[in-house]
Chains A and B, each alone.
Chain A
Amino acid sequence: MNLSSSIDKYGFLSSIETSTETPHSSLKLNARIEKWLVMIENWSYYSKHKHNLIKSRVRKGIPDMLRSRVWVLITRGLDVKSSYTRHLYFRLCNQEDDPECISIIEKDLNRTYPNHELFNCNLGQDSLRNILRAYAFFDPEVGYCQGMAYIVGIIRMYMDEESSFWLLVAIMNHYDMRSMFKDGLDKVYQCFYKANSLLKIYEPSIWNKLKDINFTPQIYSTQWFMTIYSNFPIETRLRIWDCFLCEGPKILFRVFIGFFRMNRKLFKSLTFENTLKIIRKIENECNQDELLDAAFSINLSKKKLAQLEKEYAYKPRKEMITW
């Protein structure tokens, strides 16, 4: 049996043949890789003086073979690691007692990307356990929260265990993902609030229809925000991750609006019953270029997001969407 024919280039078991690249596209890809290699070699120069160039190239997608290196660079993953004592990951892994949340971690191990070649066997699952367990010791306030395994899973597809741990630490600290997972899930509610307010501004007709059927973001978008769109098709998901790691959480909202904008005509006549089906269907088929083009066509300022955060902070009942 030819196993490779049923596993796509990202390691997912798949029944669909991935499209073969044309000579033209592979030439183009090679040229892009060349450019990226120059940038990587001179990273400190580029990150200091050519930040906009990095940003625009990341928006086009980091070539997959360079992804692991670039992710570590743009998140300053190595700086994070060296800011802690040496061999910390090793010591965390060798703690004897288990953290309290170990039973919750255990329950998620074989149901995180079970259709990926790494995670449908012990090797990947053991690795997931080690990283999540170590993180629970490292950051007891967060411990483990469902959703984190999806994040670690994506990172681990691209790098070894210890590097994955440090990239997780970088993501949790630099992009305020900690408060997404901390007890109370405060940030998740803040995301719902911001998303809803932005939809009203950018796609008022869709917003109105969702309002009519009382269809709030928390019904459909918990996983989008908590796991950085990890339930989207792998290529789309990785493109979102590239931009998230480079530009920060703002991308979460660009994608949110872009998602509705690119599918405007599908949101014409909505009932409470069909809306979730429509959303899940678009999610499964979401084309990376269309989604990111839509996301970046939106003129969204940091100021606007900050203003919404302020509004949210003064809301008396934070978990409720007020239409």
Chain B
Amino acid sequence: MATMECKIVTLGEGRVGKTSLALKYVKNEFHKDEISTVNANYLTKLVQIPQGSVQLNIWDTAGQERFRAIASNYYRQAKGALIVYDITDRKSFDKVVSWIKELKSQAEKNIVIVVAGNKCDMEKERQINRPEALEFCRKMQIRHFDTSAKSGNGVEEMFMELASQIFEANKGELGQSGRNSRRGKITVEKTKHRENSGKKGGCC
């Protein structure tokens, strides 16, 4: 079976939970006082989806506007982007729009984007109207997830969705690994036949 290796980046305003979401997903850890990110972090996880397996190489970057130029170096060659906002912070949602615009004009053409409304464990302090966020993402044809890096809610589902969309978008390139760039590369390797490609759901 094929393993697709792909690079994804986390984007979004500072302190929305980019690092925490990645950490929760990859290591099942949550730190209440996660330190602010200046250096890039890199985490990796192999995901089994019905169609095959995808190795997600997650690049996590600093959120402040001023780091945008540096972030652009990360989303180059990325197959997927996770844009995060904080449901208790109006401004962070406004930033989602500009990130989508930037990705659509600057990143790879078939980049898969998902949006996470994070900190949904703090529903009482919500500032973003949920239907509004959903409607916005629907118009953009982007999947929206309610997540909480603290409780783990929605995190697994979101990364699974990202992985399968990336697989779908890039499966044409499977088998042509030679000409792909190093970081966005796709390799085909022989792995045990675990699942039938047509089977739905039931993945871990």
Known: A185-B66, A185-B70, A218-B70. A111 touches B36 (CB 8 A): yes
Quote the shortest CB–CB distance from B2 to chain A (angstroms).
18
Taking the complex as formed, is A223 at the interface, i.e. its CB lies under 8 A from any CB of chain B?
yes
Partner of A108, one of B14, B73, B91, B182: B14
Q: Evaluate contact between A183 and B66: CB separation under 8 angstroms.
A: yes
Partner of B39, one of A107, A112, A222: A222
Query: Could you mark each residue 184-220 of chain A with 1 if its beta carbon is under 8 Å from any beta carbon of chain B, else 0?
Result: 1100110000000000000000000000011010111
Quote the shortest CB–CB distance from A281 to chain B (angstroms).
13
- Number of chain B interface residues as a range: 20 to 34
CA distance A150 to B91 in the complex (A): 24
Q: Evaluate contact between B15 and A111: CB separation under 8 angstroms.
A: yes
Q: Evaluate contact between B66 and A146: CB separation under 8 angstroms.
A: yes
Q: Evaluate contact between B40 and A220: CB separation under 8 angstroms.
A: yes
Quote the shortest CB–CB distance from A37 to chain B (angstroms).
36
CA distance A227 to B62 in the complex (A): 14
Residue of A nearest to B68 (CB): A185
Using a CB-CB cutoff of 8 Å, which residues 268-306 of chain A contact chain B?
272-273, 276-277
Taking the complex as formed, is B171 at the interface, i.e. its CB lies under 8 A from any CB of chain A?
no
CA distance A231 to B72 in the complex (A): 23
Quote the shortest CB–CB distance from A312 to chain B (angstroms).
15
Instruction: Choose among B33, B91, B182, B183 the residue with the greatest number of A CB atoms under 10 Å from its CB.
Output: B33
CA distance A272 to B59 in the complex (A): 12
Residues of A within 8 A of B57 (CB): 273
Known: A107-B14, A107-B15, A219-B40. A214 touches B67 (CB 8 A): no
Partner of B40, one of A111, A150, A222: A222
Residues of B within 8 A of A88 (CB): none
Taking the complex as formed, is A319 at the interface, i.e. its CB lies under 8 A from any CB of chain B?
yes
Residues of B within 8 A of A218 (CB): 40, 70, 73
Q: Evaluate contact between A114 and B33: CB separation under 8 angstroms.
A: yes
- Number of chain A interface residues as a range: 35 or more
Known: A146-B66, A273-B57. A222 touches B183 (CB 8 A): no
Query: Could you mark each residue 43-65 of chain B with 1 if its beta carbon is under 8 Å from any beta carbon of chain A, else 0?
Result: 01000000000000100001110
Taking the complex as formed, is A110 at the interface, i.e. its CB lies under 8 A from any CB of chain B?
yes
Residues of A within 8 A of B204 (CB): none
CA distance A184 to B70 in the complex (A): 9
Taking the complex as formed, is A313 at the interface, i.e. its CB lies under 8 A from any CB of chain B?
no
Q: Evaluate contact between B33 and A110: CB separation under 8 angstroms.
A: yes
Taking the complex as formed, is A104 at the interface, i.e. its CB lies under 8 A from any CB of chain B?
yes
Residues of A within 8 A of B37 (CB): 146
Taking the complex as formed, is B35 at the interface, i.e. its CB lies under 8 A from any CB of chain A?
yes
Taking the complex as formed, is A262 at the interface, i.e. its CB lies under 8 A from any CB of chain B?
no
Q: Evaluate contact between A223 and B34: CB separation under 8 angstroms.
A: no
CA distance A104 to B33 in the complex (A): 16
Interface residues of A (CB under 8 A from B): 103-104, 107-108, 110-114, 120, 145-147, 149-150, 181, 183-185, 188-189, 213-214, 216, 218-224, 226-227, 231, 272-273, 276-277, 319
Q: A222-B39, A277-B42 known; 6 other A-B pairs, CB under 8 Å?
A: A114-B33, A145-B66, A184-B69, A185-B70, A214-B183, A272-B182
